[in-house]
Amino acid sequence: MPSNPTLTVVLPTYNEKDSIAACITAFEAMPEVDEVLVVNNNAAAGTSEEVATTGAREVHEARQGYGAAIQRGLREARTDLIAVCEPDGTFDPTDLRKLLAFMPECGFVVGSRTVSEFIWDGANMGWFLKWGNWGVAKWVEALYNTTSLSDVGCTFRVMTRAHADHLLEHSTLDGSAYGLEMLLLTAKSGTKMVQVPVNYHPRVGESSVTGELRKTIPLGLEMFAMSGRMRFAHPKRVRRAQTSSSSASS
């Protein structure tokens, strides 16, 4: 990696019209960031107009789903490092520096939202989400013999260009579970990975995934199943199973 690596921040957007401009502006103010790339995933009306008030580059991804948007962003980025974050107001852009501090030694650094001291009042991290994420994280840690993990759902991450290419080669999911697939593919690859606590704020607007318990519980159960499936199944069987799961997650 170069001594002064270039960095793109990828922001997938679907329902973040009211928060995205402030998020972009905060990242653009950081000297470490060379480009902010917004992936418009059939976003709410008015989102593009908000993005246009900033210096971000916007691309449109018609395939619906978090995974589809992130993969498009990884393909579009042309820098040494790529950060992924959600522009919904839950993350503090300056926490990017915490993640970047480990990049000289790691290929993939991911945040954790489950450390109590970093969870702000009003954040969507009740007991079920906190301990559910912790439980799946420890299941993954045991199955894959990974670094210490406490959160599988944190979407604030940084990776090298080489690791992004590896993920793109092996990715199968378009939907919400893609964040976990990224983590599991990293664990299977042997790439050095570490998890770092980040601040977690109240969301601007409502999440399309974790805003309702009836959506959160099935997603959590699928995460447990998917972790075991990827660890023990034959690679071709995993790919078929995950492709099927992708349709359900979208």
CB distance 98 to 198 below 8 Å? yes
Res 95: pLDDT:
98
Res 128: pLDDT:
67
C-alpha–C-alpha distance, residues 217 and 225, integer Å = 13
C-alpha–C-alpha distance, residues 185 and 74, integer Å = 15
Low-confidence residues of the chain, pLDDT below 70? 120, 122-128, 205-216, 233-250
Res 126: pLDDT:
67
Res 16: pLDDT:
96
C-alpha–C-alpha distance, residues 77 and 163, integer Å = 13
CB distance 113 to 85 below 8 Å? no
Res 214: pLDDT:
66
C-alpha–C-alpha distance, residues 250 and 247, integer Å = 5
Q: What is the pLDDT of residues 138-162, one digit of tens each?
A: 999 999 999 999 999 899 999 999 9
Res 206: pLDDT:
65
Instruction: Tally the C-alpha atoms within 13 A of residue 104's C-alpha that lie toward its C-beta.
Output: 5
Domains of the chain, earliest start first:
7-249 (3.90.550.10)
pTM of the full structure? 0.85
Res 182: pLDDT:
96
Res 178: pLDDT:
95
